[in-house]
Amino acid sequence: MLEWLFPRPARRSRVAHRMFTTRLAQLIGQEQVYTTDDRAGAAIWALPGRWHASARETLELARIVLGPRLPILFSGLQRVDVAHPRKPKHFYLAVLGVDPPRQGEGLGSALMQPVLDLCDREGLPAYLESSKERNVDFYARHGFRVTSELRLPKGPTMWPMWRNPH
């Protein structure tokens, strides 16, 4: 998704850090943020009923993007928002990331597990959007199933995924 939003690699690396820092600041108060000790990976979850970004939060992200890609960002966010299920209440995996050299070590699975366990204990589903087709199988191993395909404007396909509690 970042490649779609920021085609130039130099800008992408500068802006990605600001975007993830902003999203973390927006969700950290919900207390479902998990990182590895060395910060090689992180999972940022939104609580049931609290996944929707406010207008202020959306504007915070928009200020980071400023420029000719801003209309595409808003159009893409609108499509993602429309596809996001409103009911039943569910946990939302807003961000999951692991440094590329550390991928394949089980960090992503470990970072998701505390909330997946909570979902199972509380009988609540979970939702996410995968922006990489190769990650669909990874999420499927954790019980997520693709619900549709979502095409971003002038951009990639995303895969909304749902997981019922086990």
Q: Answer yes or no: is pLDDT of 136 > 90.
A: yes
User: Quick one: what percent of the chain has pLDDT higher than 70?
Assistant: 99
Residue bearing tokens 């959306």: 58
* Confidence band, pLDDT 50/70/90 cuts, at residue 138: very high
- Name the pLDDT band for 111 (thresholds 50, 70, 90): very high
The arithmetic mean of pLDDT across residues 65-82, rounded, is 79
What are the residue ranges of helices labelled H in the chain? 2-5, 9-27, 55-65, 70-83, 107-122, 136-140
Residue 158 has pLDDT above 90, yes or no: yes
* Own/partner pairs, 8-12, CB within 8 angstroms, 24+ separation: none
Is the pLDDT at 166 greater than 80? The verdict is yes
pLDDT band for position 145 (cuts 50, 70, 90): very high
Residue 67 belongs to domain with CATH number: 3.40.630.30
Quick one: pLDDT at residue 117?
98
List the beta bridge partners of residue 34.
Answer: 43
Position with higher pLDDT, 108 vs 66: 108
Instruction: State the total domains in the chain.
Output: 1
In this model, does residue 75 exceed pLDDT 90?
Answer: no
Q: What distance, in Å, lies between the first and last C-alpha atoms of the chain?
A: 30
58 pLDDT higher than 90: no
Amino acid, single-letter form, for residue 19: M
CA dihedral 123, 30, 27, 93 (to 10 degrees): -20
Averaged pLDDT of the chain: 90
Q: Which domain holds residue 6?
A: 2-163
Q: What is the mean predicted confidence (pLDDT) over 21-29?
A: 89
For residues 13 and 114, the model is more confident at 114
How far is 147 from 118, CA to CA, in rounded Å?
22
Of all residues in the chain, the percent with pLDDT exceeding 90 is 58
pLDDT at 133: 92
